[in-house]
Amino acid sequence: MKPSFTVSIIDKSSQDEDPLQLPQSDLISTSTKSHSFLTNYFDNATKEDWEDWRWQIANSATTLDRLSDFLDLSEDEIKSFDSLKDFFPLRVTPYYLSLIQKDNPNDPLRKTVVPIINEHIHSSVEKEDPLNEDEHTPVEGIIHRYPDRVLFLVTGFCSTYCRYCTRSRLVGHKNICNIDCIENAISYIEKNTQIRDVIISGGDPLTLQDFEIEYILSKLRRIPHIEIIRIGTKVPVVLPQRITTNLVNILKKYHPLFMSIHFTHFNELTEETKQACERLADAGIPLGSQTVLLKDINDNVETMTKLMQGLLKIRVKPYYLYQCDPILGSSHFRTKVEKGLEIIKGLRGFTSGYAIPNFVIDSPGGGGKIPLLPEYFIGKDENNLLLKNYEDKIFKYPDYL
């Protein structure tokens, strides 16, 4: 079966059909927890179906009716669907649903993917495009904010939609990518020789077919001034079955290739996600995490410590902790900035330095990422800097030669 879930950017007629029919050993194996979810909810599906990423996408929940087969929905969640058709669509893979508690509306992962009525409340500080990305779009599919690097949006599709998505104005709504757009975007990158770093994003680029991914990577790699390629994705977290050996063999041909993986909560650190990340790391792909700080989901030191330490165990280096962008309908997700500083203060000194992400605000209006740190520098006397350590003890550093 070939579900028509995504916009194919290339004419497939000349491609081999079904490149993902791999031997069993190439698939991400199913945990006991996933297997019991499969047998409870999918009468006619097999373990092999579950391990096929295309089956996962074809069987994702996209409607209220389907979602209510898996979760006991609250009044609030049900009501939010009255206007959902005009807003950001719903989509959750069966695998990610298996991680969510059926009868708990406060389950942290559930709150990131199931809409509530607050999503339809728009405050005056919120904007559809708070980072002014559209103004930094010289050609369709490219966001060019910093001189030496660009974001390359190759699809508007994700296997699971996060309700707080910064790009919800594009993602899930429009076909933001077709072959002409891809070719124009690549020409733009070719002509602008100051670009040395391309971040392939969307939507989720790893929802494209293997040959589409290879097409884009090979075109970029042929451009002499492109030094590094990065892929931004949530696939290893919401659809780990997609990390097939075939895909990894393609990715590793285009080094130096980095991957930024979107994690939210330690409940995402499952056996399947571990296999997916280890497979990518074994292929020499440096993995970094990106996490959005979300109210009543991951906004405390204990949760964040568990997530960051857990990421290191699966070979993902915590990279960014983002203050949630003020997109329309996001007030129930946003915390005060102090909360992020409190979390960084609760990590620094109390766990490995490798486990500490950079806390940043993507500045509204398009000024780029601005790092924020708790106050460790507290002043100076004639010859010394006065510095505060993680235990709030003051130390003097002789700052003279």
* Residues whose CB falls within 8 Å of the CB of residue 109, separated by 6 or more in sequence, listed in order: 96, 99, 100, 264, 265, 267, 268
Taking the C-alpha atoms of residue 141 and residue 143, their distance in angstroms, rounded to an integer, is 7
* Cβ proximity to ligand SF4, 28 vs 165, nearer residue: 165
As measured in angstroms, the least distance from the Cβ of 172 to ligand SF4 is 7
From the number of C-beta atoms within 10 Å of its C-beta (0-12, 13-18, 19+), residue 352 rates as exposed
- Which residue's CB is nearer to ligand SF4, number 165 or number 360? 165
The residue length of the chain stands at 401
CB of 31 to ligand SF4, least distance (A): 22
Question: For ligand SF4, which is the closer residue by CB, 38 or 287?
Answer: 287
Q: Which positions ≥6 away from 36 have C-beta within 8 Å?
A: none
**Of residues 156 and 318, the one with the C-beta less far from ligand SF4:** 156
Distance CA 104, CA 72 (A): 8
Position with the least CB separation from ligand SF4: 165
Q: How far is the CB of 390 from ligand SF4 (least distance, A)?
A: 32
172 or 318, CB closer to ligand SF4?
A: 172
Q: Provide φ and ψ at 307, rounded to 5°.
A: -65, -50
DSSP 30-55: PPHHHHHHHHHH-TT--HHHHT-HHH
Closest CA to 210 of 261, 170, 254, 272: 254
Q: Could you tell me if 185 and 142 are in contact, meaning their C-beta atoms sit under 8 angstroms apart? A: yes
CB 128 within 8 A of CB 137: no
Q: Pick the closer one to ligand SF4 by CB: 38 or 100.
A: 100
CB of 156 to ligand SF4, least distance (A): 9
Please give the sequence-ordered ranges of beta strands (E in DSSP) within 147-272, or none if there are none.
149-153, 197-201, 228-233, 257-262
* Residues in touch with ligand SF4 (CB under 6 A): 158, 161-162, 165, 167, 171, 202-204, 234, 262
Give 6 or 38: the residue with its C-beta nearer to ligand SF4.
6
Smallest gap from Cβ 235 to ligand SF4, in A, equals: 8
Chain centroid to CA 162: how far? Answer: 9
Map tokens 């790893």 to a residue: 206
C-alpha distances (whole Å) from 227 to each of 133, 154, 183, 257 are 24, 19, 19, 9
Alpha helices in 192-270 (DSSP H): 210-221, 235-238, 245-251
Beta carbon of residue 84, minimum distance to ligand SF4 (angstroms, whole number):
15
Distance CA 195, CA 287 (A): 22
Distance in Å, CB of 93 to ligand SF4, minimum: 11
Residues labelled as active-site residues: 145-146, 149, 158, 162, 165, 167, 325, 362, 369
